[in-house]
Amino acid sequence: MVQCTVSCQEQPDRFFLVLSVHQAYTYVTAGFVEMPLFEVVQYRLQGLLKQERGFLTTSEFRTMLHNAVTTISLAQLAHPHPEHLAIADHLTVLGSGSWPRLTSLNLSGLGLDSRSVAQLAKGAWPMLAELNISRTTLNAAALWHITQTPLPQLERLDLSFNWLDDEAVLQLVAADWPKLQWLNLRFNFLRANGTHALALSRWPLLKHLNLRSNLITHEATWKLAHANWPALEELDLSANPAVDIPGLVQGHWLQLQSLTVDSSVLSQDAVALLMRKWSRLHIKIKGKKLSTAAAALV
């Protein structure tokens, strides 16, 4: 498989994009496109200057990107240089037309409000398998636009460190993402209604769920236990106010192998309950050490 990277290079009198395939270079300017055949492209817009903005609208540039790019990362653009393109310009490019080969999109750290996400969601990404929109100040209004985007191949979704509450989760579970396997919701604001909504989700392939540092209490734990996730292997409930182990063991997750919780909820009886329910379970502990009796059961 040939690795190819699209980047921006600077010369004393002009700017141009460079496609590099191993040691061979193909230069792309506003008036000329010569592309080698390649299997994988990593596309990074970092450093693309405002002078190149007109090039973004050329048919050559759009054809090159839309038909070839598989991976896009704008994660380092959270604080763009004043002379560089604004984040909104990048989102306009992403929201234009179809990206038939795009499988991975990383927007971590960008400030995404409802308007910018609406622009982004205009794009079509039929093969997108991995989406990272963590640390973007995403809220329910902005998330709605993402959930309306058909992503039939989506497997991994990172929504951590945002402003997502129970209302946002109601929108999330309504999305038609049947292949979702990995979901990160840590450091958000989920309560009982949010976990109840998660439990009603239609994600039969879900294997990994991270709910660390939300607002999950005893009631929320019992609601979560009703989820139908037959493939679930890993669950993180650490750093929540009050996870209830008796409620948690009501869950019918036959494949569960890893559970992360705070030591404060793991009494000797709680550990015994967990091990009777899931004999192969590996318990990961956050916080202070367990009592000797409880630790002996882990």
> Can you give the pLDDT at residue 172?
96
Query: Are 190 and 167 within 8 A, CB to CB?
Result: no
Rg (CA), the chain: 23
Whether the per-residue pLDDT at 126 is higher than 60: the answer is yes
Is the pLDDT score of 108 beyond 70? yes
Average pLDDT, the chain: 78
pLDDT band at 50 (very low <50, low <70, confident <90, very high): low
Q: Which of the four pLDDT bands, split at 50, 70 and 90, describes residue 245? A: very high
Is pLDDT above 50 for 170? Answer: yes
CA 172 centroid distance within chain: 12
Minimum mean pLDDT range among 61-65, 169-173, 265-269: 61-65
Q: What's the confidence (pLDDT) of residue 74? A: 74
pLDDT for res 73: 76
Average of per-residue pLDDT across 144-150: 93
Query: Which burial class, exposed, middle or buried, applies to 182 when counting CB atoms under 10 A from its CB (0-12, 13-18, 19+)?
Result: middle
Q: What is the pLDDT of residues 56-98, one digit of tens each?
A: 556 666 676 677 777 777 765 555 554 455 667 677 777 877 8
Number of Cβ within a 10 Å radius of residue 260: 18
- In the beta sheet, which residues pair with residue 25? 20
Where residue 297 falls among pLDDT bands split at 50, 70, 90?
Answer: low
Residues 6-10, mean pLDDT to the nearest whole number: 40
Give the least confident one: 99-103, 161-165, 180-184.
Answer: 99-103
Q: Exposure pattern of 68-86 as b/e (b: 16+ CB <10 Å)?
A: bbbbbbbbebeebeeebbe
SS3 98: strand
The dihedrals phi and psi of 5, each to the nearest 5 degrees, come to -125, 135
**Higher confidence at residue 116 or residue 259?**
259
Separation CA 113–CA 137 (nearest Å): 7
Question: What is the pLDDT confidence band of residue 225, given thresholds at 50, 70 and 90?
Answer: very high
Nearest Cα residue to 191 out of 207, 211, 171: 211
Place of tokens 């395939």: 21
Q: Distance between CA 218 and CA 245 in Å, rounded?
A: 9
d(CA 207, CA 256): 9
Per-residue DSSP letter, 32: B
- Residue 207 CA to residue 235 CA, distance in Å, equals 8
Which of 102-111, 221-230, 280-289 holds the top average pLDDT?
A: 221-230
Percent of the chain at pLDDT above 70? 69
d(Cα 186, Cα 214) in Å, to the nearest integer? Answer: 7
Average pLDDT (257-281) is 92
Of all residues in the chain, the percent with pLDDT exceeding 90 is: 51
